[in-house]
A = this chain, B = another copy of it.
Amino acid sequence: MLRILLAGFGVVGRSLAEILVERSEELRRGEGLNIRIIGIIDSGGAAVYERGLNLEEMIKTKKKSGSVSHHDDYGRPGLNVLDLLDELEVDVLVDATPTNLSNGEPSYTYIRKALASRIHVVTVNKGPLALALPALKELAKHKDVIFRFSGSVGGGLPVIEFARQCARGDEIIKIEGVLNGTTNYIISRMEDGLEFEAALQEAQERGYAEKDPSLDIRGLDTAAKLVILANEVLGIKATINDVHIKGIEELRKKEIDEAIRSGETYRLIGRVDSGLEVKPTRIKREDPLAVRYSMNAVSFTTMNSGVHVILGRGAGGRETATAILRDLIEIKKKLVEVKV
């Protein structure tokens, strides 16, 4: 049984709870995965029950009152993740808190504390990964705990796992990708005829872009994901400070129109080989990376078996929650192996 502390109860955290409500019996039988969420923390405080919270009630409480900490029986207003890491016996911290690319907080402190206390960690928060992945991996290794973050790149698309398969018995020498759905939606709509501002507004109305979409537009979200791939797939100990970044803020419809007249287009591409770079890149329209709207695409150039490309929707609460589940299954599998 895995006792889980869930930090963050936004779209992703709630989707995880929903999937567990629907599928816990099936996961128990099919994967031998027995999950108990013993604590949930959102911005208002916590809900705690060591025998396992009723997730349907938690979703209802959150919807009704804005915070799980208002639950009549299990609500604990004012408590935070650090308190509960001390108080409870936790097997895995699942971190679904919002990304902060300035200093990675508070997620960075949560993850460090969990790893230092020998608690396994699954995170989908790109902040700590972009800023300090080499150090966090080192800490996890030192403490002999598992640290996974499949959902941080590509949402539900298993990009990191796919890369590991491509690399097995071969060597990946270059990664290139369209890693941010918001900017790709904007560029696609500019291809369709909209100006930048109108396309951005539409992306916001459709819920792709945040109210402050600058992390996307300025290329920082792409850079964060590129850093994660560089570390995890190529073993390059980089942080976001090592990435040369140019966003799409200066890309104008005129340039896209001109590219299209020659059978080409632009995509915001992150690329890592010897160095790391994010920039609007002119490519052929039939290039596999020329995916449209909110799709992501990543290509892996290998030494012996050619170029492998993976495409799919790169975000979404349910998709990202599925990636968390994948990591939990992996942790459970590894723990069983160790016991044998």
The residues of A with any CB-CB pair to B shorter than 8 Å are 19, 27, 31, 155-158, 161-162, 165-166, 168-170, 286, 288, 291-292, 302, 304-313, 316, 318-319, 321-323, 325-326, 328-330, 337, 340
A170 contacts B312, C-beta separation under 8 Å: no
A302 and B165 CA atoms in complex are apart in Å by 20
A307-B312 contact, Cβ under 8 Å, with A161-B165, A168-B329: yes
Q: Closest B residue to A311 by CB, please name it.
A: B309
Question: What chain B residues lie within 8 Å of A319 (beta carbons)?
Answer: 304-306
Partner of A156, one of B156, B291, B306, B328: B306
Partner of A304, one of B156, B291, B307, B308: B156
A-B contact pairs, 28 of them (CB 8 A): A27-B169, A31-B168, A155-B305, A156-B170, A156-B302, A156-B306, A157-B306, A157-B308, A158-B165, A158-B308, A161-B165, A162-B165, A168-B330, A169-B322, A169-B323, A170-B322, A170-B326, A286-B292, A288-B291, A304-B318, A305-B318, A305-B319, A306-B312, A306-B313, A306-B319, A308-B311, A309-B310, A337-B337
Q: Closest B residue to A315 by CB, please name it.
A: B306
Copies of this chain in the oligomer: 2
Question: What chain B residues lie within 8 Å of A162 (beta carbons)?
Answer: 158, 161-162, 165, 310
Q: Closest B residue to A316 by CB, please name it.
A: B306
A305-B337 contact, Cβ under 8 Å, with A169-B326, A170-B322: no
A288 contacts B305, C-beta separation under 8 Å: no
Question: What chain B residues lie within 8 Å of A337 (beta carbons)?
Answer: 337, 340
B286 contacts A305, C-beta separation under 8 Å: no
Q: Closest B residue to A310 by CB, please name it.
A: B310
Among A157, A302, A340, the most chain B Cβ lie within 10 Å of the Cβ of: A157
A170 and B328 CA atoms in complex are apart in Å by 12
SS class, residues of chain A in contact with chain B: mixed
Partner of A305, one of B27, B156, B161: B156
A304 and B319 CA atoms in complex are apart in Å by 6
Question: What chain B residues lie within 8 Å of A155 (beta carbons)?
Answer: 305
A307-B313 contact, Cβ under 8 Å, with A169-B329, A326-B165: yes
A329 and B164 CA atoms in complex are apart in Å by 13
- Cβ distance A19 to chain B, nearest Cβ, rounded Å: 6
A307 and B155 CA atoms in complex are apart in Å by 12
- Cβ distance A327 to chain B, nearest Cβ, rounded Å: 8
Question: What chain B residues lie within 8 Å of A166 (beta carbons)?
Answer: 158
A226 and B328 CA atoms in complex are apart in Å by 30
A340 and B305 CA atoms in complex are apart in Å by 32
B157 contacts A305, C-beta separation under 8 Å: yes
Question: What chain B residues lie within 8 Å of A329 (beta carbons)?
Answer: 168-169
A318 and B304 CA atoms in complex are apart in Å by 6
- Cβ distance A17 to chain B, nearest Cβ, rounded Å: 13
A337 and B310 CA atoms in complex are apart in Å by 30
Q: Closest B residue to A338 by CB, please name it.
A: B340
